[in-house]
Amino acid sequence: MRNPKASVALLLPLMAALALAGCSKPKPKTTEAQLARTVRVVTLEPQEITGALAASGDLVPREEAAVMPEVSGFRVSKVLVDVGDTVRKGQTLAQLDSTLLQAQLAQAQAQAAQAEDQARRVSDLDGQGVLSQEQIAQRRFQAQVARANLSDVQTRMRKMAVVAPVGGLILERTVRPGDMSAAGGTTPWFRIARDSQIELAAQLSEDDLARVRPGQHATVTLPSGFVTQGVVRLVSPQIDPQTKLGVVRVHLPVNREIRAGGFGRAVFTDVSGKALAAPETAVRYDADGASVMVVGADNRVHRVMVQAGQRGGGLVQLIKGPPAGSRIVQNAAAFLLDGDLVKPAQGQTTARAAPTPVSVARR
């Protein structure tokens, strides 16, 4: 038989709990606005971006010399240089066969000697009546013609050697032994990069072109991984009407790794300019691309895709994205989704601002 005292002892705690529950007040519901916490926001506006500007382009000779024969009708007997050779000014590149011209030279020398001798014999006969004045003038004229003919043959004889007009690197060779020379041809026999200087012709937009100046330093990287330092030599005075791009010529040191016709990428330092910019920390990168979180007038965030441009000083240029005056979340690493309600607090426009922990309210 159950003990009555034990039953009473078991009921007392239960009754006490029910009494306390009946006396407690209901807790108030937590609102969405109360769950929303502070995030730092910055206002998009044009900023002075100081830092690196990148551009790419082709490697081209600073100055190129085209070499062609100056006489026609002679066969090439020797080609003395090849592509990649470095030559000096006046060095013989190709030799023409001068066998036929040597015979003409011997004949011209003989005719010139005879004409000169006849002209000397009448040098003191002016006005003496031995020969008419017309005959004397004729002999002197023949001597002049013989001298001119000899000079012409001697000049063509010198042209049998096709020489380099400048010193530098042989970029191209199209001539072969046995080819016939043709003065005034359209295809050069040799192309020479003067002083072996190859430079980068980097293409930039009109806005970026205004941020580069002669004497500015640039780091140039080639596809092979070779890196060298260059200096801006020339900024194009015009913009291509089709591409809307201008050219910057970057002077590079002479190096066998730098080949004409190749490709290079330059990063210009100490560049400054104004552009619509956001802190680098505000831009989020994922599989869909770059984006920022824009805070609307109702303090809810919305993701907006952007196209990032140049970077510098902790800022990134927004080529495409929200308009100037938009408020964006400063810390892109914060876990935010479209529609989250936040409490915005004004942050700094540089990425150096210390990040603030973020708490948001979900719908």
**Domains and their CATH numbers in the chain:** 35-49+275-346 (2.40.420.20), 54-63+194-273 (2.40.30.170), 69-96+161-193 (2.40.50.100), 98-159 (1.10.287)
CA–CA separation, 235 and 248 (whole Å): 5
CA–CA separation, 4 and 11 (whole Å): 11
For 178, list phi and psi in degrees, rounded to 5. 100, -15
* Average pLDDT for 63-86: 95
pLDDT tens for each residue of 29-55:
666 666 777 889 999 988 877 666 889
* H helix or E strand, kind and range, residue 155: helix 133-158
Burial class (CB in 10 A: 0-12, 13-18, 19+), 278: buried
Q: Is the pLDDT of residue 335 over 90?
A: no
With beta carbons less than 8 A apart as the criterion, state whether 336 and 48 touch: no
Amino acid (one-letter) located at 353:
A
Longest dimension (CA), the chain: 184
With beta carbons less than 8 A apart as the criterion, state whether 171 and 260 touch: yes
Q: Is the pLDDT of residue 351 over 60?
A: no
Q: Tell me what the pLDDT averaged over the chain comes to.
A: 83
Q: How far is CA 177 from CA 84, 181, 199, 360, in A?
A: 19, 11, 33, 82
CA–CA separation, 48 and 209 (whole Å): 16
Strands 301-312 and 315-320: antiparallel
* H helix or E strand, kind and range, residue 14: helix 4-23
Confidence of residue 159 (pLDDT cuts 50, 70, 90): very high
pLDDT of 26 reads 58
DSSP β-bridge partners for residue 230: 218
What is the model's pTM?
0.61
317-341 per-residue burial string, b: 16 or more CB within 10 A, e: under 16: bbeebbeeebbbbbbbebebeeebb
For 287, list phi and psi in degrees, rounded to 5. -60, -25
pLDDT tens for each residue of 13-30:
556 555 555 555 555 566
With beta carbons less than 8 A apart as the criterion, state whether 83 and 170 touch: yes
With beta carbons less than 8 A apart as the criterion, state whether 342 and 359 touch: no
**Sign of the CA dihedral with 93 first, then 99, 100, and 102 last:** positive
CA–CA separation, 16 and 223 (whole Å): 83
pLDDT of 357 reads 35
CA–CA separation, 200 and 260 (whole Å): 9
Name the CA dihedral angle for 61, 189, 83, 261, rounded to a multiple of 10 degrees.
30
